[in-house]
């Protein structure tokens, strides 16, 4: 899917990850004005294998196409999986190999 | 060894059950204050400030839609959460902490205000860090340069519990007998709050509540001046409704009302935003209707030019006479929304046109109508303020009319009008357009005194302490009162301005004792006066300030009872919206009752509407 961009690089066991999710993050106020339903990312989770390394519960007040940067412990070559969902129940999941 | 560590991490991954706080703590996400959101999320709103939380966030953010924030901490933590008091709901995000607590994201901010980061320690203790962000026009992002706000408006931090109100506090007369501020005749805050409550049906964010703008939205039955001074000063001292120990001093300034036909010639340049963002019904179409109302009142000696900006800015009507109605209306009707906003070029062009058409002794004014959605680079933003400040000196004023905007451009608009010696009104419907552009056209367009500053000296023998209600952003240093270089607010024809102090008299109970001074003994003059109010102002074309002064006595009763009581209900409502610490046990019920009883004639129905707003707010609160 092209709505999710992930970069993750490990240095001495510490991974710096950058994730951008393409999402309009429509607030209730804007939605009301435009006559559409509000919709925004509510939950993002990152796992290395079965191990959760990052977890975010979010509101309508993250910026559009939110950027998330975070750090965790993992080695080069391990698989990082990002999964997100939004208010409408939509979402996606994508895995990359940690560089 | 390494393998063992990985094993531990794997295990801890299994042991730590993830938590989706949107599901486990639903109510936290619909809380409209930081305190409430914290209560719902953690069960308590008590937290300790802790320097181990590193938060990096700009002090001034040009775009409230994406304010970058980076948080890290060495505290052994369960979770990290972000709150702000500038959005309809206060909780922004919660991170569950796993390996390392180090997070970056961008958040939305509805207005200038607080961002609070709470770190929940593994032991259950809450640690906090608070930052204030000005979401406004700023020359430099992330600090380094000056902020547009005086130290008086900086937030107060209360370590007991969070309190995010920037209210002025009580000051003891023994140590600071002087209170100095600039007047403010803006009303945008009020119409903005009305839009939140009556249209969007949500509580307004605290950041939009400016009590002085709410008070000054209404007209009061103040007597007009009878001398040649530009305004009459009226005072009243009475009991406050929320604290039986405190009194209120109301100070009202009223300028002379003059018939429009007697006014000097107008050189008006309408500077209109026709960019794509103005497409909505409550923007460009409302703007066109509003300006039609205004032009109907113009006379032959007036001149109107129209400059539009969107992509390319351009002059679409050059100096039509005030009575050439058809020509003006035709030009207005030709407007279509579309394209990107190029605000700076538009403003420059408008000033050029205004200079060319300058009427000596007339009212030379740019009327900027926009939703405030300027696409300007940082450098051009500060250049814009500089330009407006420069042109102010050449005698061209700036009136800003806000239309159907999302709230976060509010500050920018207020700042522009402020720098341009002008005023700022927010027009949300045709009725409001009529109020600003027909009923109160004189006060919207004609300045009768500029740089109006008020200084009140309290008598320590009678008054123990005082608190200026509102005007937080307008507080001046005491020495600025006499300094004619310090800019202050303007007052228009027929306008009234009201200021209020809550005071504790020496005779009242429950006042905290002042620690007596060790090195000086005050010799008090035997006087029964409560205070003296001094006003400095300049004539519209003058550079030197003139002084007026008047004594305030306890029995002053220069203001009608209804007006005094109605103003109290406005202050009370603002205190409830801001969750002020001074509100005591004040309830909506008392406010609504008093407002109903003090409605007076209310010919235009504005006070009735205010009561409706309070009722709506009460309902929302109960939800």
Instruction: Closest CB to A56: pick one of B67, B95, B202.
Output: B95
Mean pLDDT of all residues in B161-178: 70
Provide the pLDDT confidence category of residue B157 given band limits of 50, 70 and 90.
Answer: very low
pLDDT of residue B580: 87
- CB environment B326-336: b (16+ within 10 A), e (fewer): eebeebbeebe
| Domain spans of chain B, in order of start | 13-153, 171-258+448-508+528-563, 264-445
The mean pLDDT of chain B is 81
Residue B172 has pLDDT above 80, yes or no: yes
Contact: A52, B98; criterion CB under 8 Å: yes
Tell me how far apart the alpha carbons of residues B585 and B572 are, in angstroms, rounded to a whole number: 11
Contacts of B67 in chain A (CB under 8 A): 63
Contact: A51, B13; criterion CB under 8 Å: yes
Residue B118 has pLDDT above 50, yes or no: yes
Superfamily of domain A4-88: Immunoglobulins (2.60.40.10)
Q: Is the model's pTM score more than 0.90?
A: no
- pLDDT tens-digit map of B132-150: 887 753 222 222 222 222 2
- pLDDT tens-digit map of B261-291: 778 888 999 888 877 667 777 778 888 888 8
Which one has a higher pLDDT value, B597 or B205? B597
pLDDT of residue B13: 38
Mean pLDDT of all residues in B554-582: 93
Provide the pLDDT confidence category of residue B509 given band limits of 50, 70 and 90.
Answer: confident
Of B597, B507, B607, B571, nearest in space to B241 by CA: B571
Contact: B107, A71; criterion CB under 8 Å: no
Structure-token match 């959760």, residue found: A52
Which one has a higher pLDDT value, B186 or B595? B595
User: CB within 8 A of B208, min separation 6: which ones?
Assistant: B110, B111, B189, B192, B193, B196, B407, B410
Secondary structure string (H, E, C) spanning B255-267: ECCCCHHHCCCEE
Helices (H) and strands (E) in chain A, counts: 1, 7
Contact: A32, B99; criterion CB under 8 Å: no
Residue B556 has pLDDT above 60, yes or no: yes
Residues B107 and B82 sit within 8 Å (Cβ to Cβ): yes
The CATH class given to the B171-258+448-508+528-563 domain equals mainly beta
Contact: A73, B66; criterion CB under 8 Å: no
- Say whether B264-445 and B171-258+448-508+528-563 share the same fold: no
Instruction: Closest CB to A71: pick one of B92, B102, B108.
Output: B102
| Domain spans of chain A, in order of start | 4-88
What CATH number should be reported for the domain whose range is B264-445?
3.40.50.410
Q: Which CATH number fits domain B13-153: 3.40.50.280, 2.102.10.10, 2.60.40.2470, 3.40.50.2300?
A: 2.60.40.2470
Report DSSP state, residue B481: G
Report the first-to-last Cα separation within chain B, whole angstroms: 56
Interface predicted TM-score (ipTM) over 0.95:
yes
Type and span of the H or E element at B163: none
Select the residue from B7, B9, B192 to test the A interface by mutation, using most A Cβ atoms within 10 A: B9
Residue B101 tokens read as: 């607590």
Instruction: Closest CB to B107: pick one of A61, A69, A71.
Output: A61
Residue B614 has pLDDT above 70, yes or no: yes
Residue B311 has pLDDT above 90, yes or no: no
- pLDDT tens-digit map of B460-472: 999 999 999 999 8
**Percentage, residues of chain B above pLDDT 70:** 85
SS3 B173: coil
Residue B130 tokens read as: 């608070």
Structure-token match 């522009």, residue found: B416
């Amino acid at each position: 899917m092209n709505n999710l961009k992930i970069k993750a690089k490990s240095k001495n066991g510490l991974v710096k990850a950058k994730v951008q999710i393409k999402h309009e993050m429509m607030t209730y106020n804007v939605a009301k004005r435009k006559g559409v339903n509000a919709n925004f990312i509510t939950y993002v989770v990152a796992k290395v294998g079965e191990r959760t390394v990052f977890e975010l519960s979010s509101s309508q007040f993250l910026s559009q196409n939110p950027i998330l940067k975070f750090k965790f412990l993992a080695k080069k070559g391990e698989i990082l999986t990002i999964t997100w969902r939004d208010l409408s129940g939509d979402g996606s999941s994508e895995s990359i190999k940690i560089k | 060894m390494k393998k063992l560590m990985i094993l531990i991490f794997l295990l801890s991954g299994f042991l730590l059950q993830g938590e989706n706080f949107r599901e486990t703590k639903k109510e936290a996400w619909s809380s409209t204050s930081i305190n409430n959101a914290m209560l719902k999320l953690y069960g308590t709103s008590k937290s300790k400030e802790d320097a181990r939380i590193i938060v990096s966030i700009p002090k001034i953010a040009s775009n409230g839609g994406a304010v970058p924030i980076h948080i890290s901490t060495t505290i052994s933590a369960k979770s990290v959460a972000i709150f702000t008091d500038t959005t309809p709901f206060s909780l922004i995000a919660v991170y569950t902490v796993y390996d390392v607590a180090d997070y970056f994201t961008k958040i939305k901010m509805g207005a200038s205000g607080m961002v609070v980061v709470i770190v929940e320690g593994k032991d259950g203790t809450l640690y906090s860090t608070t930052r204030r962000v000005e979401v406004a026009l700023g020359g430099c992002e992330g600090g380094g340069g000056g902020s547009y706000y005086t130290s008086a408006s900086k937030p107060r931090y209360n370590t007991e519990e969070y309190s995010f109100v920037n209210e002025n506090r009580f000051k003891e007369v023994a140590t600071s007998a002087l209170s100095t501020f600039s007047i403010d005749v803006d009303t945008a805050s009020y119409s903005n709050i009305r839009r939140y409550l009556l249209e969007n049906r949500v509580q307004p964010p605290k950041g939009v509540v400016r009590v002085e703008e709410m008070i000054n939205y209404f007209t009061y039955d103040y007597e007009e001046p009878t001398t040649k001074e530009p305004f009459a000063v009226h005072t009243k001292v009475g009991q406050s409704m929320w604290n039986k120990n405190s009194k209120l001093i109301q100070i009202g300034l009223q300028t002379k009302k003059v018939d429009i036909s007697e006014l000097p010639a107008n050189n008006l340049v309408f500077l209109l935003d026709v960019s794509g963002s103005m497409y909505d019904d409550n923007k460009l179409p409302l703007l066109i209707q509003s300006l039609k109302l205004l032009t109907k009142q113009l006379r032959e000696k007036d001149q109107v030019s129209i400059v539009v900006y969107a992509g390319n800015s351009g002059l679409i009507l050059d100096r039509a006479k005030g009575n050439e109605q058809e020509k003006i209306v035709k030009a207005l009707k030709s407007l279509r929304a579309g394209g990107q906003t190029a605000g700076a070029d538009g403003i420059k062009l408008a000033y050029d046109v205004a200079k060319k058409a300058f009427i000596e002794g007339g009212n030379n004014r740019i009327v900027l109508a926009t939703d405030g959605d300027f696409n300007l680079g940082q450098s051009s933003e500060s250049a814009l303020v500089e330009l407006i400040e420069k042109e102010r000196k050449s005698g061209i004023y700036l009136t800003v009319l806000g239309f159907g905007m999302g709230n976060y451009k509010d500050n920018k608009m207020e700042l522009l009008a402020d720098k341009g010696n002008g005023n700022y009104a927010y027009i949300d419907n045709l009725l409001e357009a009529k109020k600003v552009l027909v009923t109160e056209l004189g006060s919207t367009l004609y300045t009768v005194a500029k740089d109006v500053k008020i200084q009140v000296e309290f008598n320590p023998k009678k008054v123990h302490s005082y608190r200026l209600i509102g005007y937080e952003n307008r507080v001046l240093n005491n020495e600025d009162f006499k300094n004619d270089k310090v800019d202050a607010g303007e007052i228009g024809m027929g306008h009234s301005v009201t200021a209020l102090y809550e005071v504790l008299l020496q005779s009242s109970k429950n006042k905290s004792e002042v620690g007596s001074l060790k090195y000086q003994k005050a010799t008090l003059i035997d006087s029964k006066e409560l205070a003296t109010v001094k006003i400095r102002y300049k004539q519209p074309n003058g550079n030197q300030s003139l002084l007026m002064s008047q004594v305030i006595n306890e029995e002053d009763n220069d203001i009608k009872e209804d007006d005094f009581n109605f103003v109290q209900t406005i202050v009370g409502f603002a205190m409830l919206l801001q969750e002020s610490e001074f509100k005591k046990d004040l309830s909506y019920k008392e406010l609504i009752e008093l407002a109903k009883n003090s409605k007076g004639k209310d010919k235009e129905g504005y006070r009735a509407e205010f009561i409706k707003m309070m009722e709506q707010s009460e309902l929302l609160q109960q939800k």
